[in-house]
A and B are shown apart, each in its own frame.
Chain A
């Protein structure tokens, strides 16, 4: 850590800039050379990266997984969608909703803020329960939370049209919004991770007794990360709603939970890991989808086989975890990975020069 700078936040900013530079390069390549489909995949990828980094802010620092963040995404999505959709559409779709929602039509940023505030309020209210749990109990309880949000949304027909799609959401989400909010998420996540709170919490994830003995308030630190990560997830949810234009509770259920948690676990325990995991999962999904459309094995037409992509993806994840249980980048951030790579190069270089002398 001292190699780059004594001030911890400088390293966070350098790391964020490096990560952002790589992502911007990907964006530039796809924007210049990609088709319309590629652009759609890129947008979903960027939104997923925001969600994955947010989840990582809780999971990577606390060592606890959360299966509940998709619930926060749903709250952000519905919160933002309800206040932006055309009142004429809402008069038909949700005629029984309160007037202040039915007649509201505000712009993107305040609507997103409303969605985020709702998610943060819920996270703050229930967070104290989840930060006290760990391991499998935490996973199960947060999964329960996700099901609570899903049940509420798919039955509150007056407000959300229940399990039917809530459509007519203005498509505000542009590449610019995605990149700007992604940059914000990365910087905030890195600052939180490298701050005293994040450092102490990560120490406690490795050794809770030593960490607490050194004065880390594990519950409060986890609570901070929990609430912050809920905010990030809600922003990703709002971006998603305003990108697709129609949302339904089923979109924020088991499948998305699986995709997000996989990105975080396969990637490793850092912000860079969340990005790497998101990239790997997106690439795998797209390759499988294209194989599915392009090939047929014998008489079996693979494009008529729903579930095959998911099955292969899940099996590949099992394989990845078996081969590399610590995740793609383990616990390292991008600038640390570069340092380690340089250090690995140096001894070889010096060894080679000695050989030349001899």
Chain B
């Protein structure tokens, strides 16, 4: 029972990270139809910023702000340099561009920081924990879960109650009509990329607080998990991305708890296989979101 509760907290905390990554991916996809494989590298950018600032003795609050800012700036640079020209390109070309951008950024990180893992000097409170009835619970996990809940709530309010949010939601529905209503296309792009970059930065904070070292390819694994979460939830819908993130985390923690230790190296393979089995029955994801004519096959 105690073990089950602890695993539950673990899954919720892991699910929060996946959900944040998936949200960042889903925002770009729903509004711009862009599958941004470089999302992981935005997280790596935040990770290296965190490493550099903390190593040079910054206060952790400043380091956190710097990391999120770095990831937002990186997202804006990507938008300006790589994606703005390709607005009318084929989806496959866009996909490939984001893949190439991801590889380019990884190589640039390798060039700048080398291949050796850089340990992030986390402040001591990250390891703090408390006990309820004999169980040890990390404050970090509680913080991750609560902050993620707050972010999801805030994002919902932003998208529902502000004019910018309305513009973004209507662009997700029909980009051309939104432009005809007087919303600048560039503003939509910038807005979507800022949101996505912020979510990547925050997800990176949580991710690197649990895995406190960063290598050039750090972003690949959380990016892939976030994308798979999006796909099994239903690509293009924000609530589906969140549900997909938690589902993936519960599958992962659940398989780890149920299977013997011999299988734990194969965990990723098992979880992805389950995801593929889900896709076999629901190709549009669990929620089977509405697909455009080109996608409906």
Contacts and interface: CB of A to CB of B under 8 A. Distances in A.
A318 B280 contact: no
Interface string A225-264: 0000000000000000000000000000010001001100
Contacts of B89: 321, 325
A293 interface: no
Interface stretch (B122-130, B140-148, B199-207, B270-278): B270-278
Contacts of B110: 306-307
Interface stretch (A28-36, A112-120, A142-150): A142-150
Nearest to A140: B227
Interface stretch (A37-45, A87-95, A127-135, A168-176): A127-135
Contacts of A139: 35, 95
Interface string B89-133: 111110111011101101111110001000000000000000000
B134 interface: no
Contact of A136 (B95, B224, B268, B277): B95
Contacts, number: 151
B258 interface: no
Interface stretch (B62-70, B177-185, B288-296): B288-296
Contacts of B235: 136-137, 140
Interface string B26-52: 000100000100000000000000000
A145 B297 contact: no
B296 A208 contact: yes
Interface in B179-193: none
B297 A132 contact: yes
B231 A310 contact: no
A136 B266 contact: no
Contacts of B100: 258, 262, 314-315, 317-318, 321
Contact of B272 (A148, A311, A318): A148
Contacts of B109: 307
Given A136-B91, A306-B115, A311 B96 contact: no
Interface residues of A, number: 47
A265 interface: yes
Contact of A140 (B217, B228, B277): B228
Nearest to B296: A208
A318 B101 contact: yes
A306 B276 contact: no
A265 B95 CA distance: 10
A137 B92 CA distance: 12
Nearest to A269: B92
A155 interface: yes
Contacts of B106: 307, 310
A258 B104 CA distance: 11
A322 interface: yes
Nearest to B235: A137
Contact of A141 (B86, B269, B279): B279
Contacts of B228: 140-141, 144
Given A140-B227, A262-B96, A265-B92, A145 B272 contact: yes
Contact of B35 (A140, A151, A317): A140
A148 B99 contact: no
Interface in A295-314: 305-311, 314
Contacts of A315: 100, 104
B293 A135 contact: no
B220 interface: yes
Report the interface size class on chain B.
35 or more
Contacts of B99: 258, 261-262
A133 B268 contact: no
Contacts of B272: 144-145, 147-148
Contact of A144 (B85, B101, B276): B276
Interface string A206-240: 00110000000011000000000000000000000
B36 to A, nearest CB: 10
B230 interface: yes
B108 A311 contact: yes
Nearest to B91: A135
Interface string B202-222: 000000000000001100100
A280 B266 CA distance: 37
Given A147-B268, A325-B90, A128 B280 contact: yes
Contacts of B93: 265, 321, 325
B82 interface: yes
B265 interface: yes
A328 interface: no
Nearest to A126: B276
A65 interface: yes
A132 B275 CA distance: 14
B92 to A, nearest CB: 6
Contacts of A265: 92-93, 96
B86 A143 contact: no
Contact of B107 (A208, A262, A310): A310
- Listed from nearest, the 9 A-B pairs whose CB atoms lie closest are A307-B110, A311-B107, A314-B104, A136-B35, A307-B107, A132-B283, A151-B269, A310-B107, A155-B265
13 contacts: A63-B92, A134-B297, A137-B231, A140-B231, A143-B224, A208-B294, A208-B296, A308-B107, A310-B103, A310-B107, A311-B107, A315-B104, A321-B96
Given A307-B216, A322-B85, 4 more contacts: A132-B297, A306-B115, A314-B107, A321-B93
